[in-house]
Amino acid sequence: MNNTYNKKNFLLPKSINSMAAYHAKVYEDGTYRFRIHDCITGVCLRGDLNTNEGVQEAYNKAEALIEGLQGFKDFIFQNYINN
């Protein structure tokens, strides 16, 4: 079984005004990094998937990030796109 993961992508691949990307990586040793960066700054979530607590924390971080991003997306849609 392969427990590694390596996925990255630009958030706006065709933009000439922005360089923003994410990179999610799970290493062979069970540690992970999830990075979100633009051309000025970034954030990196790190953790360890070798314990039940670490797995639950990684899952909870992802859930919280998805919830926050979905709320932001909904706000933009409701206030700027769909008005």
- Retrieve residue 41's tokens: 């700054």
Tell me phi and psi for residue 57, to 5 degrees: -65, -40
pTM of the model: 0.88
Tell me the C-alpha distance between 22 and 3, whole Å. 20
- Average pLDDT, rounded, for the chain: 96
* Total number of domains constituting the chain: 1
> Residue 29 pLDDT more than 80?
yes
Instruction: Give residue 56's domain range.
Output: 5-81
Q: H helices of 1-83, where? A: 52-76
Question: What is the pLDDT, as a whole number, of residue 2?
Answer: 80
- Retrieve residue 56's tokens: 């639950």
AA identity, residue 17: N
Task: Read off the DSSP letter of residue 28.
Answer: T
